[in-house]
Amino acid sequence: MEDHEMQEKVVENLHPLRYKDLMPSGFGPSEQVLELRREVVNKRTASGVIFNTTSCLESSSMSWLKQELEIEVHALGPLHITTSMPSSSLEEDRGCIEWLNKQKPRSVIYISVGTIAQMENKEVLEMAWGLCSSSQPFLWVIRPNFILGSGGIESLPKEVSKLVLERGYIVKRAPQVEVLGHPAVGGFWSHCGWNSTLESIVEGVPMICRPFQGEQKVNAMYLESVWKIGVQLEGEVERGKVERVVKRLIVDEEGSSMRERALVLKEKLKAAVKCGGSSYNTFDELVNSLKRK
């Protein structure tokens, strides 16, 4: 079977996921990657697998995986709220918190696509126009290497960068967990990496999903179609599309419904790591099983 045909096939028992939704980019042909994964699974040397997730998010997947692997599957997350947070990095812009303090509740779109993803200058330009046209305030993380072949926002036309700086706040790095927990933040435009996804759900913030690679595509699909707390921005980035998706999340009733569902999940995830919660109990069971070995 041709690699293209393989990637378009729906995975058995995982409808509507296709093979290409599960394949990390840059790892070679699909069949070779699948063969490597088969070899790892068939070694059967592990007695258990630990996942940074919770049963309330992925109970059916955890049950299926336990049945398939025939070993223990431990859902212990969200791990980032089970330990003390490290002190803020000196690189983080604390001024953005002061700026957020001046904004209306649930009005701000926070935009961050991780530490690796890059975008073409044209895409960033369309994003900028769309964000400004939405009339919603935005906090935008633009790393020095975020825009391909340029140093940052200064590569945009002067009239655009001027408008962006008037209507939003630009940082090179933000204290993300603190930002997501701020009452002014109403939505998170994200690449949907798993850490960012969990951090957003834990703070009850719905998402605009713009995945780039790896598991991000699956996370985005779950956010939109399973948990129903996100909306995917698919296809080319175009200013009218950007404006509409921001308004859907921040202004429209659809966004309010997503926010309500996100707040319900927030409480479930926080309860999971407390004494008596599913993740707490699973961790307790794991420790006791290790003591017996």
Q: In CATH, what number is assigned to the domain containing residue 17?
A: 3.40.50.2000
- Clarify whether residues 281 and 231 are in a common domain: no
- Clarify whether residues 276 and 266 are in a common domain: no
Q: What is the pLDDT of residue 166?
A: 92
Contact call for residues 228 and 146 (beta carbons, < 8 A) = no
Residue 215 pLDDT greater than 70, yes or no = yes
Q: Give, in degrees to the nearest 5, the angle at Cα 117 between 204 and 257.
A: 25
Averaged over 21-43, what is the pLDDT? 65
- Clarify whether residues 252 and 277 are in a common domain: no
| Tens-digit pLDDT profile for residues 224-246 | 999 999 999 989 999 999 999 99
Averaged over 165-188, what is the pLDDT? 96
- Clarify whether residues 125 and 239 are in a common domain: yes
Looking up tokens 């070899």 gives 39
Residue 129 placed within a domain:
yes
Rounded to two decimals, the pTM is: 0.87
The more confident residue out of 260 and 147 is: 260
Residue 249 pLDDT greater than 80, yes or no = yes
Domain that holds residue 208: 95-270
- Clarify whether residues 109 and 69 are in a common domain: no
33-37, 121-125, 190-194: segment of lowest average pLDDT: 33-37
Count of the separate structural domains present in the chain:
2
At 14, which amino acid appears? L
- Clarify whether residues 69 and 204 are in a common domain: no
Averaged over 169-184, what is the pLDDT? 96
Q: Where are the beta strands (DSSP E) in 214-260?
A: 230-232
- Clarify whether residues 276 and 265 are in a common domain: no
- Clarify whether residues 148 and 282 are in a common domain: no
CA pair distance 205, 199, nearest whole angstrom: 9
Residue 88 placed within a domain:
no
The more confident residue out of 46 and 72 is: 72
| Residue 278 banded pLDDT, cuts 50, 70, 90 | very high
Residue 264 pLDDT greater than 80, yes or no = yes
- Clarify whether residues 164 and 24 are in a common domain: no
Residue-by-residue DSSP string for 61-128:
HHHHHHHHH-SEEEE---GGGSSPPPPPPTTS-THHHHHHHTSPTT-EEEEE-TTT--B-HHHHHHHH
